[in-house]
Structure 1
Amino acid sequence: MMNKLPEFIQYKDTYDITQNSILTLYKANQWSSAEKPDLLYQALMNSHSLISAWYGDKLVALGNAISDGFLVVYYPHLLVLPDYQNQGIGSQIIKMLISRYDGFHQHILLAENQAINFYKKVGFQRAGKTEPMWIYSGNDHST
């Protein structure tokens, strides 16, 4: 792997991303939503915010937000191609998203395993004594 310094990464807040680029990213991270490519693409294209990271013309990362636009924002997806991880790209995307929703009452996400420490480093903490709950149709998360 060649050295991909962060200054060579371009960040965009447009929705001009091909479905194939998105699927490559999601499959590389083994996310089950890649098994529903049309729904995944529509979900991302209809997000309140979508930030992508590019190395040349290659999509290397993206993060999105769903929000009511006033009080609450939820960050469902943040993915970085495995060869580009641990270089600050994911941190930059989540910081860009958080700053876009500065002053909101709640910033919410679900994190598991190694992602927990990553999100703690950018300011997230466990939400009191709450328990995460969901109805989930995938099979890529442990119970």
Structure 2
Amino acid sequence: MNYITTADTVTATMLTGFFVDWPNPPQPKTHVTLLQNSDYVVLAVNEEQQVVGFITAISDGVLSAYIPLLEVLPNYQHQGIGQQLVTRMFKQLEHLYMIDICCDAELRPYYEKLGMTSTVGMVKRNYRHQSGHLKHH
């Protein structure tokens, strides 16, 4: 497995099978844009040059970062790829004070094993935009 920290060379054809169980998932072209627009990214790329896992972070570059997405394709789960993605992302963000992730309750033990602390948070979701909304400049 190759781990890269840029999405500059990623194409839509390299991004298939993600966003499992999302009722309205982003299309691969939108997925490329969200990867390229993230402040930090780590991608797991297999020998066939397909992305099999990814993690993104949005940051102010001074104090904080938020990790909105971590996903590994179903056929590649339980092989340590997710842990590698998180560990490599934490390394990129180690200069920051706070690194936050919002996750489902059943994922808390996973992130606790990686050194995170459980806390209380709030979210607002606009599900009508779940497939992505490309901002026009």
Pair in the same fold by TM > 0.5: yes
Number of matched residues? 128
Contact 2:41 / 2:55 at 8 angstroms: preserved in 1?
A: yes
Distance 1:133 1:120 in 2: 20
Are residues 71 and 134 of structure 1, via their aligned partners in 2, closer, same or farther at CA, if it must alter by over 3 Å? same
In the TM superposition, what are the counterparts of 1:1-143 in structure 2 within 5 Å? 9-15=1-7, 16-22=9-15, 24-27=16-19, 29-32=20-23, 34-56=25-47, 57-127=49-119, 130-137=120-127
Q: Which has the higher helix share?
A: 1
% identity of equivalent residues: 26
Which sections of structure 2, spanning at least 5 residues, go unmatched? 131-137
Distance 1:10 1:37 in 2: 20
* SS, match of residue 45 in structure 1: helix
Which sections of structure 1, spanning at least 5 residues, go unmatched? 1-8
The amino acid across from 1:17 in the alignment is V
Contact 1:33 / 1:40 at 8 angstroms: preserved in 2?
A: no
How far is the alpha carbon of 1:139 from its aligned partner? 9.7
Are residues 25 and 117 of structure 1, via their aligned partners in 2, closer, same or farther at CA, if it must alter by over 3 Å? farther
How far is the alpha carbon of 1:30 from its aligned partner? 2.7
Are residues 49 and 25 of structure 1, via their aligned partners in 2, closer, same or farther at CA, if it must alter by over 3 Å? farther
Contact 1:47 / 1:66 at 8 angstroms: preserved in 2?
A: yes
Structure 1 stretch displaced more, 107-116 or 9-18: 107-116
How far is the alpha carbon of 1:55 from its aligned partner? 1.4
Contact 2:108 / 2:118 at 8 angstroms: preserved in 1?
A: no
Are residues 97 and 103 of structure 1, via their aligned partners in 2, closer, same or farther at CA, if it must alter by over 3 Å? same
TM-score normalized by the length of structure 1: 0.78
Cα RMSD of the aligned pairs, angstroms, is 2.2
